[in-house]
């Protein structure tokens, strides 16, 4: 009797804001993935009711076919919720297949093109001295590059003083020997985004991220015309079809698909191949947990145009002090050294999960919600 059939699909809401996926074969083989979608875990978990109906009894080795059915089989397709669920399931299938065959996912995707992965971490702080301290802390963790928010509030009208404050914050991080990427988070409207991009150009930033929200795609060429700093975006795009017009427009230099939002490992590999044809680099978004990072490192290992990898090591985005290593038993696989993470040698995603710890954490199923910010005048502010 063929036992290579999916027998069980489980989900776990793990603090601080993660959603882990566990897939089990009839013969007991197991794979793990991460379908985290910050603030929408319950909605993503709901998709797995349909996935169980679809895929219990399916051959887990047929990853492409399962993905196509998961994407197209419900008629309505795409979007953050469905694509995040599909990403977590797909990651778990690669993990299961890799462990069954004794191969890392990158080996099954064509083999590695690098031995280590340049990485960066996020830092917070409103004032230069806070930024400097945060950058020093990341340096002590093994990073030599960081990303930070450009500004808390810079809406329609800005001043030279506000621009100067942004510059001083960047310089405080650079003073610690850090390369810096600056995240606009779509907070800055087009008239000011082009001004701020021009002011920042002499600082030699790694990139400016989401200078405009992706729905304002028509404004990006104007921003690009005002700066030579690389423009990055893509964490809120969920498939190759959504990335396609940005490539065609020629206004993005670095794409940032999230492997837990954009359909998983193979979909992001396809997006990266499209980007390569347009001479665009890949730097996956990952403010998430250990399985998401493990999936990112599989892409980093086998993708020629991969540039740098975001890492959520330690306190990140108000996660309450939870560390992505808490549920990972092979911590060295996700620990940076001299600014680089190792390419995982272990099978599947290369991350060994403490299943007992995950099941215990799931008893306190989180209800994490994105914080809401307000401008000085009381109006809603982008995250």
Whether residues 95 and 143 share a domain: the answer is no
* pLDDT tens digits, one per residue of 149-196: 887 666 556 667 788 999 999 999 999 999 999 999 888 888 888 889
Do the Cβ atoms of 318 and 371 come closer than 8 Å?
Answer: yes
Above 70 in pLDDT, residue 317? no
Whether residues 282 and 158 share a domain: the answer is yes
Whether 364 maps to a domain, the answer reads no
pLDDT at 337: 93
Residue ranges making up the domain that contains 22: 6-103
Do the Cβ atoms of 291 and 353 come closer than 8 Å?
Answer: yes
Whether residues 97 and 114 share a domain: the answer is no
pLDDT at 192: 86
Do the Cβ atoms of 263 and 90 come closer than 8 Å?
Answer: yes
Whether residues 34 and 80 share a domain: the answer is yes
Q: Which of 68, 103, 138 is the last residue of a domain?
A: 103
Do the Cβ atoms of 308 and 119 come closer than 8 Å?
Answer: yes
Whether residues 207 and 295 share a domain: the answer is yes
CA pseudo-torsion sign 302, 185, 151, 204? positive
* pLDDT tens digits, one per residue of 224-246: 988 999 999 999 999 999 999 99
**Average pLDDT score, the chain:** 92
* pLDDT tens digits, one per residue of 17-67: 999 999 999 999 999 999 999 999 999 999 999 999 999 999 999 999 999
Out of 261, 285, 306, 316, pick the active-site residue: 285
Q: Which of 63, 84, 103 is the last residue of a domain?
A: 103
Whether 194 maps to a domain, the answer reads yes
DSSP-derived 3-state class of residue 88: helix
Whether 368 maps to a domain, the answer reads no
Whether residues 77 and 200 share a domain: the answer is no
Whether residues 49 and 113 share a domain: the answer is no
Q: How far apart are the first and last CA of the chain?
A: 52
Whether residues 168 and 302 share a domain: the answer is yes
Whether 373 maps to a domain, the answer reads no
pLDDT at 320: 44
pLDDT at 158: 64
Q: Which of 103, 121, 138 is the last residue of a domain?
A: 103
Based on the residue annotation, tell me whether 306 is a catalytic residue of this protein: no
Whether residues 177 and 194 share a domain: the answer is yes
Domain count, the chain: 2
Q: What is the mean pLDDT of residues 282-301?
A: 97
Above 70 in pLDDT, residue 318? no
CATH number, domain with residue 21: 3.30.390.10
Residue with tokens 């698909």: 257
Out of 185, 261, 316, 322, pick the active-site residue: 185
CATH number, domain with residue 205: 3.20.20.120
Whether residues 169 and 80 share a domain: the answer is no
Based on the residue annotation, tell me whether 322 is a catalytic residue of this protein: no
User: What angle, rounded to 10 degrees, do the helices at 160-174 and 128-141 form?
Assistant: 30
pLDDT at 73: 94
Q: What is the mean pLDDT of residues 135-159?
A: 83
Whether 156 maps to a domain, the answer reads yes
Whether residues 51 and 167 share a domain: the answer is no
Number of alpha carbons in the 13 Å side-chain half-sphere of residue 372: 3
Question: How is residue 226 annotated by DSSP?
Answer: T
Whether 380 maps to a domain, the answer reads no
Whether residues 97 and 111 share a domain: the answer is no
Distance from C-alpha of 19 to C-alpha of 12, rounded to nearest angstrom = 6
Whether 376 maps to a domain, the answer reads no
Whether 367 maps to a domain, the answer reads no
């Amino acid at each position: 009797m063929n036992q290579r059939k999916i027998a069980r699909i489980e989900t776990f809401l793990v603090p601080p804001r993660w959603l882990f996926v566990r897939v089990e074969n009839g013969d007991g083989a197991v794979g793990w993935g991460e379908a985290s979608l910050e603030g929408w875990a319950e909605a993503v978990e709901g998709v797995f009711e349909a996935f169980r109906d679809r895929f219990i009894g399916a051959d887990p080795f047929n990853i492409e076919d399962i993905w196509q059915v998961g994407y197209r089989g419900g008629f309505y397709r795409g979007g953050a919720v469905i694509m995040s669920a599909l990403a977590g399931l797909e990651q778990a299938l690669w993990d299961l297949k890799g462990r069954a065959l004794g191969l890392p996912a990158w080996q099954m995707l064509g083999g590695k093109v690098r031995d280590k992965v340049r990485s960066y971490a996020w830092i917070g702080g409103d004032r230069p001295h806070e930024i400097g301290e945060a950058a020093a802390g990341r340096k002590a963790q093994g990073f030599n590059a960081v990303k930070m928010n450009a500004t808390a509030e810079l809406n329609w009208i800005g001043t030279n003083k506000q621009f100067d404050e942004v510059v001083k914050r960047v310089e405080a991080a650079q003073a610690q020997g850090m390369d810096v990427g600056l995240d606009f988070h779509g907070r800055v409207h087009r008239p000011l985004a082009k001004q701020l991009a021009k002011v920042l150009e002499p600082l030699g930033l790694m990139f400016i991220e989401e200078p405009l929200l992706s729905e304002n795609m028509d404004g990006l060429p104007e921003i690009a015309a005002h700066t030579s700093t690389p423009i990055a975006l893509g964490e809120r795009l969920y498939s190759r079809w959504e990335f396609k017009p940005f490539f065609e427009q020629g206004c993005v230099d670095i794409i940032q698909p999230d492997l837990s939002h954009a359909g998983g490992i193979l979909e992001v590999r396809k997006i990266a191949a499209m980007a390569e044809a347009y001479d665009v680099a890949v730097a996956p978004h990952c403010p998430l947990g250990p399985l998401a990072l493990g999936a990112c490192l599989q892409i980093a290992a086998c993708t020629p145009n991969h540039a740098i990898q975001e890492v959520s090591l330690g306190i990140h985005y108000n996660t309450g002090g939870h560390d992505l290593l808490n549920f990972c038993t092979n911590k060295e696989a996700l620990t940076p050294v001299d600014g680089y993470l190792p390419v995982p040698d272990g099978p599947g995603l290369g991350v060994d999960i403490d299943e007992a710890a995950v099941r215990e954490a799931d008893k306190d199923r989180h209800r994490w919600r994105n914080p809401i910010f307000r401008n000085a005048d009381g109006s809603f502010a982008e995250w």
